[in-house]
Amino acid sequence: MSTSAGEWPLWEVFVRPKAGLDHKHCGSLHAPDAKMAVQLAREVYTRRQEGTSVWVVKSSDITASDPGDKGMLFDPMEDKVYRHPTFYELPDSVNHM
């Protein structure tokens, strides 16, 4: 872990608001280890009954796309409207698609 001396590693926190929903990223915090990170996530991010389950993952374990590659990675999809299922005739009974 490449943190400066005396500083706890950073953890990303994911909270599941209720059963059946996905864990959603809600922020980060510093903690000395994984177990304590879960406890501190409970303190910091579920104070108002926001959660029923918490995941933490070391921020350094996340590999992210480079913001500089945003154009290369994502812009080519801009003109491929045919990838959206909007060309199908839907029966009237299907309201929310």
Instruction: Report the C-alpha gap between 90 and 88 in whole angstroms.
Output: 6
- Can you read off the two tokens belonging to residue 32? 């000395």
Residues 58-97 that bind another protein (CB under 8 A): none
Q: Find the part of the chain contacting another protein (CB under 8 A) among 16-24, 30-38, 71-79, 82-90.
A: 30-38
Q: Find the part of the chain contacting another protein (CB under 8 A) among 23-31, 51-59, 60-68, 81-89.
A: 23-31
**With binding defined as CB under 8 A, does residue 6 bind another protein?**
no
Instruction: Report the C-alpha gap between 28 and 11 in whole angstroms.
Output: 5
